[in-house]
Structure 1
Amino acid sequence: MHLISESITYIILFLALYVEVFFLITYFEFRDTDFASNSAKDSLYKKTTKLPSVSIIVPVWNEETTVLKTIFSLLKLNYPKEKLSIFIVDDGSTDNTWKVIQRFAKNSQIKLLQKENGGKHTALNYALEFVDSDLVGCLDADSYVHPEALKRIVAKFDDSEMMAVTPSVKIFEPKGILGLIQKAEYIFGIFLRKVFSYLNALYITPGPFSIFRRSVFRQIGGYKKAHNTEDMEIAMRMQKNNMKIGNVHNAFIYTVAPTNLYALYKQRLRWVYGFLKNAIDYRGMFFKPQYGNLGMVVLPAAGFSVFSTMYFFGSMILSWINSLIKTIQEISTVGLNFKGFNLDLFYFNTDIIVFISFIAVLGTLLIIVTSRGLAEEKNVFGVDSVLFLMFYTLLAPLWMTKAIYNVVFSQKTKWR
């Protein structure tokens, strides 16, 4: 049994290290060319008046406390007002959301729509019926945009093959330990999203401010419920239809993070469950060369990350239980015996598992430092990074376990 466990550990660590090194090499190989291209396009778009028309859809449901700030952030975008339309869709709110957004009823840029509650995907599809712009995107009602975000994203559509562009999402004013952990997690995600874009393997177009060519929806249809992860499903469908999805790492969007463990648990349960269910729906893309790096590397790596996290968490729990049993047995046999601490300065653990783990940790630290540079953080390594490394692997199994249970026993998750 020990041999089997050790063999699985070797395989997981080797694969994790391989993927980590592959992502780092990919990033440093494409970084300079990509940054130079983005800088040139940004400069061009700051001078040109030939900008495409853009519509932003904001689906809202009981968002009376956050929606105003969301709308004001859109109105402050550095983009020609005559080229920017904003659609606010009230999806059957039961609070004062509809009353709150009435203050924009006379604003020529903003169109207010109201419908019966049907879920986010129905609100987006309803608004799409009124959209006639070149580009269309969405923004969650608890998120806020950087004034330059839209121009930076639009510049990416200079590539005629580009069909959608994703931003970088950061936590808005993180509070407490949970907020800081999420801050580091989102910053880490900025690096991954950039690497996935280099590999043409993005499989999520985040709800906060992903922008599409309107023709995408004419060609492959509108949003689906998709297990309450419509932003993942639409990206998977685009990839299946060979549509290019890009990323602009300095198009920053700020989102409000869950402030307590239960809210975080509910959100991440929905995300992981949605990934697993969409992975099943699109299982034909896994390990298929025609889907490039997405099918051969990124999707398998995403599934592997869930399995490996659960495996190591389970191993850790079993190790704690075995240690506790051993300690109890020793106490019952010889009583309390406080042994002195023996430090051998010339001892070095040459176990291959320890060595691979050490290299993997160094790779993770390099990714964290690199991602903080992409996120334009002041410090290369902050308190949030330390908390993320200490606690995230202890928290993630909470929602991963439940998500796997829900998939196996066909139990659906709720949005909130």
Structure 2
Amino acid sequence: MIVSLIYFSIFFGIFLLVVVLQVVNKPKLPAPLTLEPYVSILIAVRNEEHTIIKCLEAIGRLDYPQNKIEILLGDDASTDSTYDVIRQYIRQKPFYRCVRIKEYLGQARGKANVLAHLTRLATSDIYFITDADIQVPRTWIRDMLAGTRGQNIGIVTGVTTVKGGGLFPELQAIDWINALGLMQVVSDLKLPVSTMGNNMLVTRVAYETTGGYENMPFSVTEDVQLFKAVIRHKFWTTNLFHPGVLAFSSPSPSWRQLLHQRKRWMQGIWHLPWYMSMVLVVYASFYAFCLPFGAYTSGWVVLGIFLAKLFLQTWFINRCLARLGLRYRISTVILFEFYAIFVSLITILFFLLPVKVSWKERKY
């Protein structure tokens, strides 16, 4: 009983702090740069024949001089027609280049290996990294570059969510916004949190100072691995939570793929800064303490705690959505709580199973 009371005090203390910071901190996007530097967009692709065209079309709509962008794609041994689809699309587009990745560089594997190759081909001092199933906004480059204002910035991270019709994609989208919103609150305190490998900017000097992916131990969360290395070499990072850097990802089409995605993410959680891991663990373990607490008190008390949590969470999510110019029905936001309970339970069980992570049709 005493342990549960201590836990609830910590939980609601953290959540109330989050609420207060959401009200007090209203970070605006930094002023845009007056210069338009040459930049490289790096995309690792593997079996993306159904998504890569939408990704490239979004890049083609970027509000940035075309002659100041190079787009480098690395095909990671696709077993479908991804390479041919890309080659057909980029014909007579001199700023695009697609290469087949056939060799390993050092310790790098999978996506990290592709990016290790592409960074060697890049000719700019600024790398923009995204995924083949991502659609970036028109203002992506300009607004991400605005985040490089400041001393010794190594990584700038945008915000990503899911886009798709139906209840399942909508719940996934809210889940992304909720998690990234919590991370943004910590970032607003000028503390490093993490990055998103599908929506990030890395400076050449920061990347090369780390030795590159070829000199990092392999991880299925290669973005977190790079983030840690950049921080370790005394570079600063910044996270932007703004419509101008909001990218959309394809949703997980099935529960199986969602669980493999979550298992991969959970492996990355343990590499986050301790304070960020604590926030996520305390948040995720709410019901582990709430349900046993019912044995020591009345059901009304448990119901009151649940409703308080549901109210604070719904308010927080709606505020995050408003910041990004997004909107979902209030019923869907409330339903997300029950979705989160179910997904958390089955994710923990799946994480404990001796099953390898399936990612891009490979086992890790």
Q: For 1:67 and 1:237, how far apart are their aligned partners in 2?
A: 29
How far residue 236 of structure 1 moved from its aligned partner, in angstroms, is: 2.5
Identify the residue that residue 141 of structure 1 maps to in structure 2: 132
1:311 matches 2:288: yes
Corresponding residue SS for 2:131: coil
Corresponding residue SS for 2:63: coil
Corresponding residue SS for 1:203: coil
How far residue 393 of structure 1 moved from its aligned partner, in angstroms, is: 1.0
Task: Return the index of the structure with the highest Cα Rg.
Answer: 1
Correspondence for 1:365 among 304, 314, 318: 314
Instruction: Check whether the contact 1:165–1:210 (CA below 8 A) recurs between aligned residues.
Output: yes
Q: For 2:36 and 2:222, how far apart are their aligned partners in 1?
A: 28
Identify the residue that residue 184 of structure 2 maps to in structure 1: 194
Matched AA of 1:234: L
Corresponding residue SS for 2:358: coil
Corresponding residue SS for 1:22: helix
How far residue 312 of structure 1 moved from its aligned partner, in angstroms, is: 4.7
Query: Which runs of no fewer than 5 residues in structure 1 stay unpaired?
Result: 1-5, 280-293, 320-346
Q: For 1:312 and 1:348, how far apart are their aligned partners in 2?
A: 14
Identify the residue that residue 232 of structure 2 maps to in structure 1: 240
Corresponding residue SS for 2:97: strand
Cα deviation 1:66-98 (Å, max 9, x = unaligned): 111111111211111122111010011111111
Identify the residue that residue 267 of structure 1 maps to in structure 2: 261
Q: Using the aligned pairs only, state the percent identity.
A: 20
Cα deviation 1:26-57 (Å, max 9, x = unaligned): 333331xx32xx26x14xx4xx3x22221111
Instruction: Check whether the contact 1:273–1:404 (CA below 8 A) recurs between aligned residues.
Output: no
How far residue 376 of structure 1 moved from its aligned partner, in angstroms, is: 0.6
Identify the residue that residue 18 of structure 1 maps to in structure 2: 13
User: Are residues 397 and 240 of structure 1, via their aligned partners in 2, closer, same or farther at CA, if it must alter by over 3 Å?
Assistant: farther
User: Are residues 275 and 148 of structure 1, via their aligned partners in 2, closer, same or farther at CA, if it must alter by over 3 Å?
Assistant: same
1:107 matches 2:93: yes
Identify the residue that residue 73 of structure 2 maps to in structure 1: 88
RMSD of aligned C-alpha atoms? Answer: 2.7
Q: For 1:253 and 1:371, how far apart are their aligned partners in 2?
A: 15
Structure number with higher helix proportion:
1
User: Are residues 8 and 116 of structure 1, via their aligned partners in 2, closer, same or farther at CA, if it must alter by over 3 Å?
Assistant: farther
Correspondence for 1:51 among 17, 29, 36: 36
Identify the residue that residue 128 of structure 1 maps to in structure 2: 119
Mapping for residues 219-230 of structure 1, pairs under 5 Å:
219-223=209-213, 224=216, 226-230=218-222
1:210 matches 2:200: yes
User: Are residues 403 and 314 of structure 1, via their aligned partners in 2, closer, same or farther at CA, if it must alter by over 3 Å?
Assistant: farther
1:177 matches 2:126: no
Identify the residue that residue 9 of structure 1 maps to in structure 2: 4
Identify the residue that residue 300 of structure 1 maps to in structure 2: 278
Corresponding residue SS for 2:75: strand
How far residue 140 of structure 1 moved from its aligned partner, in angstroms, is: 0.7
1:68 matches 2:43: no
Correspondence for 1:98 among 59, 78, 83: 83
Q: For 1:128 and 1:299, how far apart are their aligned partners in 2?
A: 30
Q: For 1:152 and 1:273, how far apart are their aligned partners in 2?
A: 30
Identify the residue that residue 159 of structure 1 maps to in structure 2: 150
Corresponding residue SS for 1:129: helix
Corresponding residue SS for 1:180: helix
1:150 matches 2:104: no
Corresponding residue SS for 1:210: strand
Query: Which runs of no fewer than 5 residues in structure 2 stay unpaired?
Result: 104-108
Identify the residue that residue 27 of structure 1 maps to in structure 2: 22
Q: For 2:286 and 2:96, how far apart are their aligned partners in 1?
A: 45
